[in-house]
Amino acid sequence: MSLQRRIREHRATIILTVLVLLSLASLAAGKRGSLVSDALRTGVSVASHPFWIALNFTENAYSYAAEFVLDYHHNYREVNRLQQERAELAQRLADYEELRAEQRRLRQMLDFERSETAVTLLPAAIISRSLGAFVIDRGRTHGIERAMCVLAPDGAVVGVVSEVSPVNATVLTLHNPDCKIGALTVRNRVRGIVRGTGQVGANAVCEMEYIDMKDQIGVGDRVITMGSGIYPAGRPIGTVVGVEAGQTLQKKARVLPDANFQSLDEVFVITQALIPAEEIRGRPRPQGAVSRAHPMPDERSMQERYAP
């Protein structure tokens, strides 16, 4: 029996056998391929893991740096905006406090002006300062004249007008040696002349001169204007803080002024009083002039008034 005939007779068996063998070979080859593929995949994963870590770190670092820069720029602009707002609010608060202080000063001046019935007061603002003097924003066109009296908003003596221009005037303060005012003590009516020593500052004092050695004057005595010179009587000048015996029959007293010259922003100028302005400035009154002061009581005794 030839080989060809045998193959023909057992064709189905041979085909089945070949198919089974091919299936087994395919299965064997697929399992080995899977093992090789898994091995390669594992090797590549292990080898690339540090690179993935580095790449992830780089991406995170870049994101952090970018966010940090953006946040810093945003916060920088926000801080600048807040600082600007803070400066504006601080300026508004300062302006508000200044307005409140000015309102208090003006209310004090208004109350003092209303309470004064014996004199006419002209308010003025201080526009410049120098040692022992300052310039106010009122002048000849406002009725200011030389030797007029100047008071603080609370009525304390400040000084005297020395020079006048059409729109402003110069005031000599109590610290100026050229400012001299007749004064007396409230306690026992000791008289003298208050003049400046040239000292300036919060604790600068004046001198009360021409005090008789037998007159009693001591620390704490209140000093007011005498009323026989350029100032009306009774205006507060200051307080005695010391007494010095002179080499003659006179002594001096150191007087601390009531007015705080460093904090003055506004003052009053006495432009008219019940007595004529000429008398306030120490000038003689013209003959025939009528005084506008209240009539003084007749202090003569009955015998003097009615004696023949």
H or E element, residue 249 = none
Query: For residue 288, which amino acid is it?
Result: G
The enclosing H or E element of 144 equals none
Distance CA 127, CA 267 (A): 11
Q: Quick check: 224 and 183 in contact, CB under 8 A?
A: yes
What CA–CA distance (Å, rounded) separates 107 from 167?
25
Residue 19 lies in a domain: no
- In this predicted structure, what is the pLDDT of residue 86? 84
Q: What pLDDT sits at residue 99?
A: 74
Number of domains in the chain: 1
Q: What is the pLDDT of residue 256?
A: 94
Let me know if residue 137 belongs to a domain.
yes
**3 state DSSP class of 55:** helix
Buried b (16+ CB within 10 A) or exposed e, 228-238: ebbbbeebbbb
Give the number of C-alpha atoms closer than 13 A to the C-alpha of residue 305, restricted to the C-beta side: 6
Tell me if 47 is assigned to some domain.
no
Q: In the block, which residue shows the tokens 């007293």? A: 253
| CATH classification at residue 149 | 2.40.10.340
pTM of the entire predicted model: 0.58
- Report CA-CA distances (Å) from 34 to 39, 137, 186, 303: 8, 106, 122, 152
User: What confidence score (pLDDT) does residue 295 get?
Assistant: 41
Q: Residue 44: its pLDDT value, please?
A: 54
* pLDDT attached to residue 91: 84
Sign of CA dihedral 90, 91, 95, 96: negative
Q: What is the mean pLDDT of each run of 10 residues along the chain (308 residues)?
A: 64 68 62 55 62 71 72 80 84 78 71 73 91 93 91 91 94 92 92 88 86 91 82 89 83 93 89 59 44 40 40
133 located within any domain: yes
Residue 215 sits in which domain range? 119-280
Terminal CA-CA length for the chain: 203
Amino acid, single-letter form, for residue 128: S
For residue 94, the cross-strand partners are none
Domain membership flag for residue 77:
no
* Per-residue confidence (pLDDT) for residue 303, from 0 to 100: 38
Instruction: Please name the helix (run of DSSP H) or strand (run of DSSP E) that holds residue 43, with its range, or none.
Output: helix 11-115
On whether residue 257 sits in a domain, the answer given is: yes
Whether 49 is covered by a domain: the verdict is: no
